[in-house]
């Protein structure tokens, strides 16, 4: 197989994440009333949620399950042809293939496959657009309307844990044509973390090393806010609603993102982030490489990373109990 075009442009953007929760009602209350997503619809064991500027029907599919963690990760292709091209590449890649599914309320048929660490991915083109009705109709044509809770603007990225970040990188570059924008190169020669994008966002998926022997685990899912002030305000909202604030607000050294991490009621880590006006526009972007020495300086303004940030993932592993 030839070197994947970098970026391939075949994949347009991160579409949605399916999150598992073993406290469905509490999680749904959190995501709608506190975190501030809006409920597009509900069916069987899943609720379909979106941020106010997400153009699709759902960017978070919250599913009742006996565990927490991530159900699947979905990217939207740039066109039907691009979808077909990607499927051919994935089928030839040697990575595990699940095959086509019919989709659900939020999108049409999707092609599923799996990374070597147990995370299920899908790519799709046919989607369902959000069409506002009644009080949802925005005052301006190019915006939407939601001011409940933290009310982030759009889905931003997610972070998955993997035993071998280098192998995960091969998966992302091969299957999605993603490119690396920043990475952590450890002294032992391994990658400690890797940040990927399929478009001009600085990253839509990050992978960091699994330290808990878990399989297919989620580190966090993130929505973007318009400003850092939105995140400071969200911190007060989380505090008032008894949400566990893990760390932040502060600024990441890697990617320079202003962040705030909380745990939703079932324990999945959720972030709010603001990248300012930063974009990756250079077609020949040179990945930023952080060394172990760099990382010892802590976050951008010196905050030491909290211990649970390195150990907590969902679902939890035995030793977490």
Which residues within the stretch 270-299 sit at the binding site for a copy of itself (CB under 8 A)? 274-279, 281-284, 288-290, 294
Count of other CB atoms within 10 angstroms of residue 79? 12
Q: Which has the closest alpha carbon to 75: 35, 18, 131? A: 18
Closer residue to a copy of itself (CB): 189 or 302: 302
DSSP symbols for 133-183: -GGGS-SSTT-----STT--SEEEEEEEEES-HHHHHHHHHHHH--EEEEE
DSSP-derived secondary structure letter, 274: E
**Nearer to a copy of itself among residue 115 and residue 182 (C-beta):** 182
* Beta strands 120-124; 110-114: pairing state: antiparallel
301 counts as binding a copy of itself under rule CB under 8 A: yes
d(C-alpha 93, C-alpha 288), whole Å: 27
CB nearer to a copy of itself: give 230 or 264. Answer: 230
63 vs 269: CA distance, rounded Å = 15
Which residue's CB is nearer to a copy of itself, number 200 or number 292? 200
- Quick check: bond before 249 cis, omega within 30? yes
One residue of 9, 42, 96, 108 binding a copy of itself per CB under 8 A: 9
Of 102-141, binders to a copy of itself (CB under 8 A) are 138-141
Nearer to a copy of itself by Cβ, of 27 and 59: the residue is: 59
For position 237 contacting a copy of itself by CB under 8 A, the verdict is: yes
Residue 144 to residues 56, 231, 247: CA-CA distances in angstroms? 12, 19, 30
Among 44, 134, 189, 242, binds a copy of itself (CB under 8 A): 242
Pick the closer one to a copy of itself by CB: 184 or 207: 184
Does position 182 interact with a copy of itself (CB under 8 A)? The reply is yes
Tell which positions 27-56 bind a copy of itself, by CB under 8 A: 53, 55
Minimum CB separation of residue 277 from a copy of itself in Å reads: 4
Q: Which of 300, 305, 317, 320 binds a copy of itself (CB under 8 A)?
A: 300
Binding mask 74-93 for a copy of itself (x = CB under 8 A): --xxxx--x-----------
**Six token digits for residue 199:** 């478009």
* Helices first, then strands: H and E counts in the chain: 6, 17
Q: Which stretch binds a copy of itself (CB under 8 A): 113-121, 183-191, 238-246, 312-320?
A: 238-246
């Amino acid at each position: 197989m030839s070197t994947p075009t970098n970026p391939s442009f075949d994949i347009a953007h991160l579409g949605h994440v399916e999150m598992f929760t073993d406290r469905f009602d509490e999680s749904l209350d959190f995501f709608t009333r506190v975190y501030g997503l809006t409920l597009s619809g509900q069916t069987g064991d899943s609720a379909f949620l979106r941020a106010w500027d997400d153009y699709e029907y759902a960017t978070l599919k919250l599913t009742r399950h006996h565990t927490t963690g991530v159900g699947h990760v979905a990217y939207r292709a740039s066109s039907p042809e691009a979808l077909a091209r990607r499927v051919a590449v994935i089928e030839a890649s040697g990575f595990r293939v699940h095959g086509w599914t019919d989709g659900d309320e939020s999108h049409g048929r999707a092609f599923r496959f799996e990374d070597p660490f147990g995370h299920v991915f899908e790519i799709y083109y046919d989607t369902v657009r959000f069409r506002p009705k009644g009080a949802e109709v925005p005052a301006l044509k190019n915006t939407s309307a939601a001011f409940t809770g933290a009310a982030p603007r759009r889905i931003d990225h997610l972070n998955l844990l993997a035993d071998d970040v280098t192998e995960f990188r091969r998966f992302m570059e091969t299957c999605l044509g993603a490119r690396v924008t920043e990475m952590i190169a450890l002294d032992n020669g391994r990658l400690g973390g890797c940040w990927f994008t399929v478009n001009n966002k600085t990253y839509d998926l990050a992978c960091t090393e699994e330290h808990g022997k878990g399989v297919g685990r989620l580190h966090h899912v993130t929505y973007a806010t318009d400003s850092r002030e939105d995140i400071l305000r969200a911190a007060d909202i989380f505090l008032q609603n008894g949400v566990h604030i893990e760390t932040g607000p502060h600024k990441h050294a890697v990617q320079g993102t202003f962040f705030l991490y909380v745990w939703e009621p079932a324990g999945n880590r959720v972030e709010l982030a603001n990248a300012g006006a930063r974009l990756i526009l250079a077609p020949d972007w040179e990945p930023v490489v952080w060394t172990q020495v760099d990382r010892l300086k802590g976050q951008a303004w010196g905050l030491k990373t909290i211990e649970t940030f390195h150990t907590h993932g969902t679902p939890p592993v035995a030793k977490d109990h």
